[in-house]
Structure 1
Amino acid sequence: MVTARLRLEPVGPANAADLWLVHSDDAVWRWYENGRPSPEQAQQRATSMADSWRFHGVHKWIAYDRVSGEVVGRGGLSRTPVDDDWGQIYAFLPAEPWVRAAHRIRRPFVAHANWLEIGWALRGEFRGRGYASEIGRAGLAFAFDVLGVQAVVSCTVRHNVRSRAVMERIGMRYAGEIRSRGMVDGVEGEQDDAPHAVCVLLQRDWPGSRAPGGPVRPLR
């Protein structure tokens, strides 16, 4: 898939080194890890993402600059497990049966069928140039126009103001907070009950091709 400036490639084992380049960046790992991840951990994640692409038809992309080929970041969508943690999101979605329905393929885990999580992470040198919004809009287009899901949600720790700004910029709406494992402002290391801000966009509110940033086209 391509956008105005980026080539978005589904993450698989062949992208493990590039995934590590993103996740080990100082601008990224501090939001997700207690320490910088190893190349072996990146390889495991890349393999896991490939499994989700295979069985669930969606997961994250590595974002490459279309001109230079440089690794800009990673982002995109993922299906969420049907469990108590993600069940907190039900409160922010319509009280309709599709919200709790499970995906027909139960590998590599039992996932929600009709709504996805969206996210992004950029290497430090590429922040502040609108790339996160470009990846986010591409993800929304893929979710609604290609996969036909009913909703997309995005979660980030409360104090991640940059990510929250991107959510709003691409048209998502603040819905409330959940408590889950993550980083807490001013506290070292991951915590079990970190406050996470939740934004939601329903299919009926998706503006589609009217969103700024240019069209998203399949990669040829």
Structure 2
Amino acid sequence: MIELETPRLLLRQWRDSDRDPYGALNDDPAVMEFFPARLSRAASDEAIDAMSRSIAERGWGNWAVEIRETGEFIGFTGLSVPKRVLPFSPCVEVGWRLAKAHWGKGYATEAATASLRAGFDTVGLEEIVSFTALINLRSRAVMERIGMKNANADFEHPGVPEGNALRMHCLYRISAADFAK
């Protein structure tokens, strides 16, 4: 099972002690601004269970992220295979979701870069994608900071209701060769 360390962060398997702060994060309107809805505590717990299973089965997935210096849980970052069939499936996605108190500190960039490195160097992936609502400029900026390029292949996300302003998504990509540069 892969766990990752960066200068400031530990990306690790999930713990029961992560459930309360992850539930609060998923109920925060600011954190969930670019999702169709906030998650109930039950849905948040189900997500932890699914992410834990993925890491146990594959050795990698969406890891819980904690600050090394304090041990504080701040969200997740990692790699996943999207559940829905998307126009560019099959694929592996890099993603993140951090508590608002930890935005603007470079944690998403640091953790996502470590996830890309693990995906390419340890897992042996050839390409990793990321996608978000067109209007989610903060996540798009992280994608660009970690070296991903806009694929100019916008698409309607099938998990977002028609007519919802979040339905149109953009796709970013990075290859193993481009990451190694």
Bucket of the pairwise TM-score, normalised by the shorter protein: 0.7 to 0.9
Residue number in structure 2 paired with 1:123:
99
TM-score, normalization: structure 1? 0.71
Residue number in structure 1 paired with 2:35:
32
Give the alignment of 1:40-189 within 5 angstroms.
Answer: 40-81=42-83, 85-86=85-86, 88-89=87-88, 112=90, 115-176=91-152, 177-180=154-157, 181-182=159-160
RMSD: 2.4
Residue number in structure 2 paired with 1:194:
167
Residue number in structure 2 paired with 1:8:
11
Identify, as 1 or 2, the structure richer in strand: 1
Instruction: Quickly say closer, same or farther: Cα 1:134–1:89, change in 2 above 3 A.
Output: same
Q: Determine the C-alpha separation between the residues in 1 that align with 2:36 and 2:167.
A: 13
SS in 2 for 1:61: strand
Percentage of identical aligned residues: 30
Q: Deviations over 1:94-140 (max 9, x none)?
A: xxxxxxxxxxxxxxxxxx4xx41011112111111111101110110
Q: Deviations over 1:142-201 (max 9, x none)?
A: 1001100110000000000000011001100100211113389xx7xxx49811011000
Q: Spell out structure 1 runs of 4+ moving beyond 4 A.
A: none
Cα deviation for residue 73 of structure 1 reads 2.0
Cα deviation for residue 28 of structure 1 reads 1.4
Structure 2 stretches lacking a partner, 5+ long: none
Q: Determine the C-alpha separation between the residues in 1 that align with 2:165 and 2:49.
A: 26
TM-score, normalization: structure 2? 0.86
Q: Deviations over 1:54-80 (max 9, x none)?
A: 333322111111112222221111023
SS in 1 for 2:82: strand
